Amino acid sequence: MPESHPLYIGMDLGTFKTSVASSAGYRDVIPTAVGWPKDHIARTMLGRDVVFGQDLTEHRLALDIIRPFEKGMLKYGDPATCGLSEKQMEKYALATRLIIEYAVHLVHPEPQDTARPIYGVIGVPARASVKNKQFILEAAGHVFDAVAVVSEPFSIAYGMNRLTDALVVDIGAGTIDICPIYGVYPADEEQITIGLGGDAVDEEFEKRLKAKYPRVQISRNMVREIKEKFGFVNAVGEQALVNLPVDGKPTPHDVTEPLKAACQVLVGPIVEAIRKLIARFDPEFQEKLRQNIILGGGGSQLKGLDRVIEQALTEYGGAKVTRVTDATYAGAVGALKLAKAMPPQGWTALNTRKGKSRSNTGEAKQAA
């Protein structure tokens, strides 16, 4: 490993958003997506070949946008079962690499300094396969000198210094990951990944909303924004009133019922997975796990989710559920903390970065 002072980076490579933090004191969050101009007019208007960040939303009509981990693809699912052709797989791999490079660029104090080694810890779903992890390592190899791939919920627990007697439930857009914490790094078989998350809620909400209000015009971005602002699972005290266009005219709609029903699709699978995972452990340890359940990820912010899970576990001896204070950065901050403390044998050295630029637009142009 290089002896000069490295830059340490922690990254939560999420399905919908990627958060990143560096030892230089910078942190940022971006959509986990890449956009390519649809034609030469769009390229002229945008003035670039690849688009990241908030510009993806502002200029989405002029872009071909790829979310490489949509519904957990490539981070958890097998490429073959995801229905990707070889050509699509190549483009998704390039998109992943460009997202990682751009995220690192945002938190590097001197992005043009290619001599300084960069070590990174990247979070992946709890039950990601060897193939999934290798896909991430290959994408990271163009910007990192060494990488450690860890379970996303474990990085949350590490950042909170909850290293024993805890159960972390990380609710992302594509997967829900559940990880027991008991003083050592948990084995893969001790963790659970559910192929369900915020994307599934969005789909269910849109389906129910259109069934109730057939004339409503709504995009997936609008659906997501409503969910993030009003999303809830508890029984009382919530109401979601929004203006939605009907034949181009903004019209008030009560979306409380379809929104609640959509958000509740997460509750049953989470409770069942928690119950099954806890049952695997020694009876004396089960009580400690139930009394220290931590919700992380964007889905943890659904109103009432902590209380609903507690109520569902009453018959199993009760539970205490808390939410992370900063759902956006909890994973990245924990990964950074882990990177700073990582022993030399914990890193996977990568050789692909040597002699390469951190901004390779040539491949991006060819992929467009």
Query: What pLDDT score does 249 carry?
Result: 95
CATH topology of domain 161-323: Nucleotidyltransferase; domain 5 (3.30.420)
pLDDT for the residue 81: 60
Name residues whose C-beta falls within 8 Å of residue 298's C-beta, 6 or more positions apart in sequence. Answer: 14, 16, 17, 171, 172, 173, 198, 228, 327, 328
**CB 131 within 8 Å of CB 113:** no
Model pLDDT, residue 361? 40
How far apart are alpha carbons 154 and 137 in whole angstroms?
A: 18
In which residue ranges of the chain is pLDDT below 70? 1-4, 71-84, 129, 350-368
Q: What is the pLDDT of residue 4?
A: 65
Query: What is the residue extent of each domain of the chain?
Result: 7-158+329-367, 161-323
End-to-end CA distance of the chain: 36
From CA 220, how far away is CA 203, in angstroms rounded? 8
CATH of 7-158+329-367 among 3.40.50.880, 3.40.50.720, 3.30.420.40, 3.50.50.60: 3.30.420.40
The confidence score (pLDDT) of residue 78 equals 57
What global pTM score does this model have? 0.87
**Are residues 350 and 136 in contact, defined by beta-carbon separation less than 8 angstroms?**
no
Would you state the pLDDT for residue 305? Answer: 96
Using CB atoms within 10 Å of the CB of residue 129, give its burial: 0 to 12 exposed, 13 to 18 middle, 19+ buried. middle
Q: Which residues contact 45 (CB under 8 A, 6 or more apart)?
A: 37, 59, 62
In the chain, the amino acid numbered 2 is: P
Q: Does the fold of domain 161-323 match that of domain 7-158+329-367? A: yes
Question: Is residue 131 classed as helix, strand or coil in its secondary structure?
Answer: helix
Among all chains, which residue has been given the structure tokens 């992380």? 296
Please state, in angstroms and as integers, the Cα–Cα distance from residue 266 to each residue in 14, 167, 247, 305, following that order.
18, 17, 33, 9
